[in-house]
Structure 1
Amino acid sequence: MEKMSETKADILELLWVNDAPLNFKQITEKLGLKPRAANMHLLGLMKAGFIAKNANNEYTITPSGRVALGFPSTDEKLARKILSKTAKEKAFYFYKGIGQPTDIEADSLNDFCEKLRTLDTKIIEFHTERGDFEAWVSSLGDIELAKRLKVIRGSNLSGELLRKKTYDAVKSRCDELSKAK
């Protein structure tokens, strides 16, 4: 396979980060592309099977597109591994701050997702700032979700908006992995 152009890679990354369909205008505006050039790149990405267009003329990244971005393909074995319960010593233990443990822990990605719904936002902020969530998710074998959590960390969100973005990312990934297993 030949090397992908920077613009095509930018389009794939935009669709991946957005995690929702985007229309032609949104893609051209967010990336500052001229319509003719954008159309050429989108057609090339569709032909390669990296993106798809839905009935509303919106574009989404495909599993092949994720692989093109460097993520491993999510097969049944990987999905089961990521979603399985961890040993007690590998569970995620939530802290309010350094040296301030809570008695809340998560022993699976689904359990982690549910805990995010009710945790104090200060706990979520503490772990996000340190990169703890992405490190734990990576230890489960989910490189893609770890990178998504890193993107969220880089957006400097706080409070309920941080909770929502984090929960939505984890919930979406849990749903996707559940379908794969």
Structure 2
Amino acid sequence: MSRKAKTKKSTGKKQTLEVDQTEVKILRNLKDEEAFHFYENIGKPTGESAKGLSDFLKKVSTIKLESLQFHQGRQDFQKWIEETLGDSKLAEKIGKISPSNDEKLRTKIHETLEQRLHELKDTSITLEINKELLVESQTLPQ
């Protein structure tokens, strides 16, 4: 059984919360250079980009179908989700969706993303960080 990096957060009231760093990485907002940039074809950018998983879900709803087909056929979504976001579980599911020529492709990608976001948000904790919050990061041995 592997152990994941955890962040312990203490408020001075003897309470400790553990937040899975994998989930934090997957759900984080990305820098421009890490964003997913949508194209309709090689050399034909749409001008749209996604700076995280939630943003990616929104863009999948509105981006041209041709762009979805182009990227799904090249496994670009799968690669970005695995390599940049670090979510191998979602990458595998997205990789199994065949690049169809109709709106079913959009629906399947959207539903898969939505389900995974729901799973991640159910298990993650959002904390407001203030001056009194002590943050100690550690990596647990495997």
Q: 2:93 — aligned with what?
A: 148
How much does 1:156 deviate? 4.2
1:177 matched to 2:120: yes
Q: 2:60 — aligned with what?
A: 116
Q: 1:136 — aligned with what?
A: 80
More helix by share: 1
8 A contact 1:122–1:159 mirrored in 2: no
Gaps of 5+ in 1: 1-66
Q: Partner letter of residue 100 of structure 2?
A: L
Query: What is the CA–CA distance in structure 1 between the aligned matches of 2:39 and 2:70, rounded to whole Å?
Result: 8
Q: 1:166 — aligned with what?
A: 109
Deviations 1:113-163 (CA, angstroms, capped at 9, x unpaired): 0111111111100000000000000021000110001111xx342320000
Query: What is the CA–CA distance in structure 2 between the aligned matches of 1:131 and 1:160, rounded to whole Å?
Result: 18
Query: What is the CA–CA distance in structure 1 between the aligned matches of 2:23 and 2:114, rounded to whole Å?
Result: 14
Q: 2:47 — aligned with what?
A: 103
Scaled by the length of structure 1, what TM-score is found?
0.56
Gaps of 5+ in 2: 5-18, 125-142
Residue-pair matches, total: 107
1:92 matched to 2:36: yes
Query: What is the CA–CA distance in structure 1 between the aligned matches of 2:101 and 2:88, rounded to whole Å?
Result: 23
How much does 1:83 deviate? 0.6
1:79 matched to 2:26: no
More strand by share: 2
SS of the residue corresponding to residue 49 of structure 2 reads strand
How much does 1:98 deviate? 0.3
Scaled by the length of structure 2, what TM-score is found?
0.71
8 A contact 2:69–2:99 mirrored in 1: no
Q: Which runs of 4+ in 1 moved over 6 A?
A: none
| Structure-2 change in CA distance of 1:119 and 1:156 (3 Å) | closer
8 A contact 2:72–2:99 mirrored in 1: no
